[in-house]
Homo-oligomer: A and B are copies of this chain.
């Protein structure tokens, strides 16, 4: 039951460690007949890769990928699609200095506690490099969604205490890719960028929030009572490295509201019922209602900092650790595409699931 599979129908199985041969994913359950756009997959991987700007780690990695199966003459065949992304220079670095140390707020101790051993090179399987496989699979899911008219937007809406204040349905999502922070408000993006660089210069890191906004999703997606659409979205987001919270629609703020204000009043629309407000976030009773779906994902500050920290090693003795090399001072700019990928996987899955509910 080791938890490296995700999805009910459009199912992915991932593998790989940050300093092994590479990362990979099998997509099992993608319908036959989907055209595969390799340039699009590459562009998605590039949005995640390190070294994109001064705001991210300066490690240079070319994210080459190879589709090993499941696609014939450019179209999916209904058999498993395997994608492999080789690691670059995976053997070049020396990790012996952390082989026995437990870095604060990393997974070193917990992997040891669970498995009795761990691949300590760059965090092994617990490294955020693992998410590259999610992005590759998410790109296929996006191609499927695009063919059904569903579009997913995401962007950075908070860095530290700097936050976008406009409601998500008033945001111009097309601008999220116009700046290295991936904030849909370019002016705010500059403030965020300045703050990230300031934090970086101190050898510190800072957290942030990624928000997503999904349009074109038909009513009917979600499988109560446990596989509610927002529950599967929530699990998807919470499974991403460094995520501490998830809220959809009115979210935590909704817990302070009164029913008379929070209720979304129905009205007739051209292609079906619509709601005048959308505190529900496009999901009611765990099932999409055709309105836009939106949610927020909170990321903690990156644990690797360029400062010396107290710690212990695996024998319980006191020691110190200090970040080496090139790490992200703030994870949210690169996390945008990961959030989108996980959302795409959930929606593609539920689109297929929803073929099963009526005779």
Contact = CB atoms under 8 A, between A and B. Distances in A.
A220 to B, nearest CB: 4
A39 interface: no
A18 to B, nearest CB: 11
Given A68-B84, A266-B310, A244 B251 contact: yes
Interface stretch (A50-58, A164-172, A175-183, A284-292): A284-292
Contact of A225 (B70, B125, B204, B289): B125
A225 B1 contact: no
A128 to B, nearest CB: 10
Give the contact-size bracket for chain A: 35 or more
Nearest to A232: B235
A301 B2 CA distance: 37
Interface stretch (A40-48, A184-192, A347-355): A347-355
Contacts of A4: 26, 28, 79-80, 224-226
A126 B283 CA distance: 13
Nearest to A104: B263
Contacts of A124: 72, 77, 79
Given A24-B26, A259-B301, 18 more contacts: A1-B223, A15-B26, A31-B356, A33-B116, A33-B117, A77-B124, A78-B117, A104-B263, A105-B264, A107-B287, A125-B225, A126-B224, A226-B235, A230-B238, A234-B238, A244-B250, A249-B300, A267-B310
28 contacts: A1-B356, A3-B224, A3-B228, A4-B225, A5-B5, A5-B11, A6-B226, A13-B28, A24-B26, A32-B115, A33-B117, A34-B359, A104-B266, A105-B259, A107-B284, A110-B283, A110-B287, A144-B359, A204-B260, A244-B252, A244-B281, A257-B300, A262-B301, A262-B303, A263-B309, A265-B311, A268-B312, A268-B316
Interface of A: 1-6, 8-9, 11, 13-17, 20-22, 24, 26, 28-29, 31-34, 66, 68-70, 72, 75-82, 84, 102, 104-107, 109-111, 113-119, 124-126, 130, 144, 147, 158, 160-161, 199, 204-209, 219-228, 230-232, 234-235, 238-239, 244-252, 254-260, 262-268, 272-273, 275, 279-281, 283-290, 296, 298-305, 307, 309-312, 316-318, 352-359
Across the A-B interface, give the 4 residue pairs with the lowest CB-CB distance, nearest first: A107-B285, A3-B227, A245-B247, A3-B223
